Structure formats: structure tokens, C-alpha cells
Structure 1
Amino acid sequence: MKLAPVLAAALAAVIVPVLVAMPASGDDKLPQTITITSDAPTGEFAIYDRVDGLGSYVPTGTSTSGLPVLFSVTSADDLVCYSLPGAIGQPPTAGLITIYWNSPGDCIVHATQPGNDQYAAATEVTQVIHVLGEVSEIDGAKAAKGVFGTAPTTFKATLGQYFRFGPGIGFGPVPGQTVTFSVGGTAMCSAVTNDAGFATCKKAIGLQKWLTAKTFTVSYAGGPFLQPTATTTKFG
């Protein structure tokens, strides 16, 4: 009896085709994540907060792959913010940008890492800079009530704003803006500020307010580049 043909036949009987799943293109790349490591400017003077003295911000970040994080910015209005390559005072570095802003609004910082032959692209991370308007300030002058509230009361106020002045912050008048004078929650009259930021108007406040009101409010609703403001002033 010849065994060789029998063994060959037996072995052939147990050999079955095996399908091996091959990874699709890119499936074998390593994952990576990115983190923005710098804090966005915040606070009342956000429009003037600055890293390098020029009203700007240099975002930084890291990736778990060690690859450089790339930054860009967007905003609803191009005037809110824009960016230029590199960081001021530093050697050119891949991905680094300097962000500048010059009007109120939301500036969105985008951090990405596209990956390479070894690492897959990271999920984008964003950061928002809430750029505030210039800070305004209003001062009301004491007002003498018109007799019995039937005679007009003369209201006066001065509106000013904080603004960038060289390396610091200056303060100056705001002309051409409307301020409103109110007593007990009721608007009495409004006036437009002159070149010196001064506004005045007259209005009879009525007997009831003449008897009970001790203060009045002067308010400014704000503008495209200015924050709103209000103050309470005593009658005197």
C-alpha cells in the first residue's frame, strides 16, 4: 500500500481558503490630538489686551504626534481680526501666526494638524476671542429740578472714551453720539454730544417726580466701536 497519495489527499481535504482583511488606505495611521496651550485675551479692555504691545495675540499649541500645530482665524466681519504669518520678534516657525484685531466681535482661532505618512489628521480645535469695543464713560452734572416739576429741568452730561495712545491707554471726548436722561425709569429727553463730548437738554419732569425723585440716570446705548455706559447722578 502506498501511503504518500493517501496523505496528500487527506491534507488536501482540510486545507480551506482563508480571506485576510487588508486595512484600507490610511487605516493604519496613528491617531493624534491637538491642544491650544495659550489663553485668549479676555476682559473689559480685550480690544487693547496685547502680548507684544501692538494689540495682538500669538496662539500656541501642541500635538500628541509632535507635529507642528497650524493656526488660522475667521470672523463674521473681516474688520474684527486678521492674521499674519509668524510671531513678532521670533524666528519663522511653521504654523505660528500673529492675530490682530481692530473692531468688536468674535474672532475664531482654528488649530489644525493635517498629519503625515505616519499620523492621521487631527480633529480641529477652536478658540474664541471675544473682542470688546472701546470702553466709554459718561458723567452727569448735578441738575436742579424745575419748580414743581412744571418748569423744565436742565440735564447735562459728558461722554468720553478710552483709546489706545502709544504704549498706553488715553481718554478723550466722544462727539456726535446720543445720550438719554431718565428719571424714575422714564426717559425725559435726549441730546447729541458736541465736539467736546458735552450734551444737554431740558424737560419738565412732572410734579410726582419733582416730589420723590432724588436721582436721574444718563445713559449711552453704545456704538459700532464703543461699549454702552450709564451713570446715576443726584439732583441738587
Structure 2
Amino acid sequence: MKGTLTLKDVSFSGNAVTAGVGNSFSTDNNDGQAKAKDVFICTRSVGNNHPSAALCAATVNQCGTISVTDIVGTFGTTCPYTITTTAAPVAGGTVTCDPNPVMTAGNTTCTATPNSSYTFSSWSGACSGTASCTLSNVTANQSVTGHFKQVQTVAFDAATPTRKTFGDAAFAVTVTTTASGLTATLGSSTPTVCSVAANTVTLLAAGTCTLTANQAGNDNYAAATEVTQNIIVDKASQTITFAQPAAPTFVLNGTFTVAATSSANLNVSFNSSTPTVCSVSGTTVTMLSVGDCTLSATQTGDANYAAATAVTRTVTFGKASQTVSFDAATPTRKTLGDAAFPVTITTTASGLTATLGSSTPTVCNVAGNMVTLLAAGTCTLTANQAGNDNYAAATEVRHPITVDSAPPPIADEVSLTQQGRVISKDDTTPSTEDGTDFGSIPILSQLTQTFTLSNRRTTPITIQSMSLQDTTRAAQGTGLDGWAIFGLQSAYAMGVSDFSLATTTPFTINQGASQNFTLNFTPSVVGLREGIVVITFSDASIFRFAIRGTGTNSATIPIFSPVGLLALLGGLVWWGRRRKRG
């Protein structure tokens, strides 16, 4: 039901409706159902065709209404309840609940409002907590108490700094309070930037140091609202100490080290602003060319230190010196006629070319590193090395070589004898007296002559080779080649082959000493056999002498045997040569 219900012809007994019938409605929407918050009126009027008064009595009795003329209330179980409010202390503020009273199963919100210099702290009674309180589903009278505490405040002293520099000494901070007498506490909400011990602040890093000031409460005073104070901590400055490096002797790609320190104990870096003169890697400087090498020492800073002002130092590289010298194997004495020889010049590691020269061009000349002797005397060699942008020219170095006059050929300073008889150099007339003419011996027999070669020099000599050659005069007999018939050679072609040397070369004869060698003659045909002995010495000089011998027929060889015919043919050749000479 929604609307107003009037119950008629009711009776009351004290506070209760005891009888009554009938009712009348004043509503636009009557569904015949009693609902919460419907308003009803019970009177003594009489009506009919309505619910009995007992229903009204049962319901109204729950509200405790005592009017005997009319009853106005909320239908059903809904009744008004009172919320008793209290402020503690009374001076602390006011407590209100809205609505108050509150109907059965209804809700009300209670609010505590502090007076000046007080703050609400908590509820007791039907409410709890520290915020506004809502009472729900109220079914009885209730009471609430709002508790208030006096307000206390903290503040940072006006002398508290707002800016500091990393590295500054620890400093004291004062927190001012109201007259509660409770202790205030100083703290830091940025423990990586600053720390607090009692009232002393220590800076730990650059950044923002946020200090906090707090004051706990008690039964009478509320805790103070936290107050913060920001202090900007600037980066500290730093300086670089960079001592002037000593000027080193320039060596291409040579190195030296540099050192510098930072007042912040941070690593210092180095760089070169003259990259064509020097380069830097770490603390090592590499020399690239002569000139001024400008080095800079820098420190870029970190989280706590600002970059340092760069410090520069200039190191001047002068031209490096270089030296040349003659190799230890360079001779100091030579003999005119010696073959051209190389000379080596040693240099420092500049890489520049050294030049070999001669200051005595009439005694010796130089081409590249080869020295050629021109005359006896003193050959003075010079060694030079030109400079460049990085190296000064080397000081000229000289090396004298004594060039002795060439000695006579070895062939002119030996003697050859046979049984005490001297055989002259280039002798072309063999003789039986000196053993160069072996005389006449039967074919196929052998005659050996021993010759003595003596060294008249004051130094040893070397016989390079000994050989047998045909005579020039024999070579003139080429017209006799026509005798070479039936597969036989001419006597000329067979002449020297009947002689043989029994000596091995090379060999050496010491000064003043002698050496024997043997020469064999074994005629193979009848007739004259000729040749030349050629002795070649280590200086390429030659000692020659002619030899000869005659083959005769042997009585033991039949004339018509192959050997006899060969001997006969040889004799004819010999006779023919003799006639041609005549």
C-alpha cells in the first residue's frame, strides 16, 4: 500500500489500540499491502469493510506511540531511534549524526569536526576508526563519542641551508616545535644522497637531499604533520695536476709515458691535439714526427664531481740523430788487381738510405756498394746518411784501405827444373838436357820424367790446374789430315795423347818450398810426338813449356801386325811432316 490509511472506530487501552474496525483510504495507488514508510492514522471514527483494528494495534504498539486522539508513525517495524553524540574533550570539536533520529533499519552518518588548534583523532562507542562514521541498519538507540587532540607543529629553522656542495662537511639542522614538549625527530627520505644522525646531516652524493621533520603525539597531542626540506647538493669541482713531461729524443714510433692526477681521485684521460706529431693511447704517447706535441689531460667528472678544467702540456721533439758505420768485415788492406768487392754500411733504425762513396777517386771508385781498385795508394771510403724532417744528417764516417802494388804474376816467380836444369817459362824448344825432349823410345814403351816446381815468393802459391795441349806448330800440320785413311787418325791428332801427367790439382806450395810432378811418355806410333804442358796458378797466370818424344819401331813387333802397320803409318806421317817443314 502507498498513501495514507485512516483506521476508524478504534478503542485504546493505555498506550495500545484495543479495538476498531473499518478504514478509509486516501491514495492514488493502493495495492492493499502494508509497506515500510507507509503513513497511517488511527482515530475513533467508525467505518466498515476494512481490516480490523487489531492489525493497527499490533503494529502501532511497536512504535510506542501514546496519543489517544491520533497516531502518526511509520507502518510495520520502522520506528525512530536516537543517536547520542559526545565530543571529548568538549573544547575539541563537535560531533553530529545525520539523520538523527534514524528510522528502524535506517542509516546515519556521523561526523567529527575539530575546533581550531585541535584535530580529530578517533571514535568510540558505536563508531570506530579515524574517518567519518556511517551507522547502518539502526534498530536501537545508540551513542558515539568523537575524540580530539590538540594540534602540534614542527618546522625547519630558517638557517637550514637549501644548497650545498658534495664534499662539504657534515652540518647541524635545527627543528622548531610548538610547546607540547614532545621530541621532534630529524630524518632523511633520500638515504643515498644524505644521512642523518640525531641533528647532524652528512652528504653522501650529489642530487637532492630531502630532510624530514616529525613529532610523535600522545594522549593529548596528535602527531605533527611531517615537514620536508629539500637541499640541492651540487657536484664538487676537481682539479688536474699534470707535470710537464721531459722532452724525449725523437725516435720514429718511439714511445714515452705521461701521468696526471685528479683531486677527486678519478682517472685522468689524455689526448693529442697535434695528431701528426704524436698520438696517445692510455698513458702512452707515440712520437710520429718532429715538432710540438700538445697533450691535454681531461677528467669528465661523474655523479658527484663536475668535469675538471683541461690541462695542456707541450713537448717539443727535435730531430733525431742517426749514425753510420762501416761493417767490421770492411777490409783495411787490399792489393791492386784484386777483384771489386762489396762494402756494407750499418745504420741506425731511421730507415733512411746510407751512401757509400770515395774521396780518393784516382785510387778507387764506388758504384752502389761495390768498390773497384784503380791504383796503389790509400783508398778512402766515405759513408753518409742524409736527413729528413725527422732525422738530422749523420756525421760522415771515413774508412781508409791501403792498396798495395800488384805483385808479379805467380808464373814469373816460380822456377821449373829437371835434374837441376832450369826450364824457362814459355820454352818452345824441347831439349834432352832439361828432360823436355824424351828422346826416341820404342812404341808402346814408357818413359817417365820428374820435374820440380819451386816457389820463390814470400807467400804460399796455389797451382790451380796442370794440363797437356797440342803445340801450335803441330796445329800447322792440318794439311796432313788426308793421311787419316782406313779409320786411322793423323799423327798430329795423336801427338799429345801419348803424354800423361801423374799429378792431382789443385795443390799449394809454401814460400821457399818445392813440389815434384811426373810426366809420362808412351808413344803409340812411330814418329815425333809433341805437346805443351800448361800450369795455371791461382792468379790465372800461366807457365808453359813444350815437350816432345819420338816413337821407334820395336824389333819384337812384326811389321805386318796391326801394331806394326800403325807404327809404319806413324813413321810415314812423321816423314811427311819433316818434308813439309823442309
Higher relative contact order (CA 8 A, sep 6+): 1
- Say which structure is richer in strand: 2
Structure whose CA Rg is larger: 2
State the TM-score, normalized to the length of structure 2. Answer: 0.24
State the TM-score, normalized to the length of structure 1. Answer: 0.49
